[in-house]
Amino acid sequence: AQSVAQPEDQVNVAEGNPLTVKCTYSVSGNPYLFWYVQYPNRGLQFLLKYITGDNLVKGSYGFEAEFNKSQTSFHLKKPSALVSDSALYFCAVRDSGGNNRLAFGKGNQVVVIP
């Protein structure tokens, strides 16, 4: 079964500094990887995904993520964090073998300090 680990509960970063949210995954086949963001009292909003091709994926709001097969990682990054980036971030994985489930990590709370 596929699974995702987001090792940090909370990430604090000063506004303007680089932001990194870590994610590692486990699947039996090839991984399809996703990042979602959740603002308070809202649903999940899609940021970006990796299916195949370039390991560096660019998404919404200036976010990007790098797929690293050898380290089974898919860390989310933003070069310069904004206060408005403060939210809950979820990494998710789906097995290319056709499993219907999108397995989510527990989420990381990002706090951007003005």
Partner 1 sequence: GAGVSQSPSNKVTEKGKDVELRCDPISGHTALYWYRQSLGQGLEFLIYFQGNSAPDKSGLPSDRFSAERTGGSVSTLTIQRTQQEDSAVYLCASSRTGLTGNTIYFGEGSWLTVV
Nearer to partner 1, 42 or 58 (CB): 42
Cα–Cα distance, 95 to 58 (Å, whole number): 21
Task: State in angstroms the smallest separation of the CB of 8 from partner 1.
Answer: 15
Angle at 35 between CA 33 and CA 40, to 5 degrees: 155
Task: State in angstroms the smallest separation of the CB of 71 from partner 1.
Answer: 22
How many CB atoms within 10 Å of residue 98? Answer: 7
Nearer to partner 1, 43 or 114 (CB): 43
Residues at the interface with partner 1 (CB under 8 A): 32, 34, 36, 42-46, 49, 51, 90, 94-107
